[in-house]
Amino acid sequence: MAAIAATFLLGTVGACGSSEEEPGGSRTILQPTTGPYVSVAVNDHFHDVHPEDDVQLAGDRSLVIKNQGSNLHNVTLVEAHIDVDLKTGEEYSIGPPLTDLLEVGKTYIFFCKYHPEAQMLGQFTVTAP
């Protein structure tokens, strides 16, 4: 029993050590290539869906937007008639599958209608599943 407890403690210490890295530093967290693709919305910004990220999502996946900011945000995607408000802590999923509302081969831009001056927008392309 004592040995098991000691092993557990060592494991815990190791986990704490790795969390001492600076949050949001240069570390890249890779998104999975199947299942939901997650964009976290903070105040006036959607992460991981910048136009320069050139996000390509297979049509059988979903795009999940989570509001982790402190303000009310919104997801508007005109072509799909999406206009959804997200309070802090709420999330919204397009799909699965994305092809319920969107077309393969097209690039879409969505935006937060409450923060146009901040250009709070995201872009992604739907690819063949």
Q: What CA–CA distance (Å, rounded) separates 69 from 31?
A: 20
Of 39, 73, 76, 95, the one binding Cu ion (CB under 5 A) is: 73
Of 120, 122, 124, 126, the one binding Cu ion (CB under 5 A) is: 120
DSSP 35-95: SEEEEEEETTEETT--GGG-EEEETTSEEEEEE-SSS-EEEEEGGGTEEEEE-TT-EEEE-
Residue nearest to Cu ion (CB): 112
Residue 92 lies near Cu ion (rule: CB under 5 A): no
Residue 66 lies near Cu ion (rule: CB under 5 A): no
Q: Choose the binding region for Cu ion from 32-40, 82-90, 98-106, 110-118 (rule: CB under 5 A).
A: 110-118
Q: Which residues bind Cu ion (CB under 5 A)?
A: 73, 112, 114-115, 120
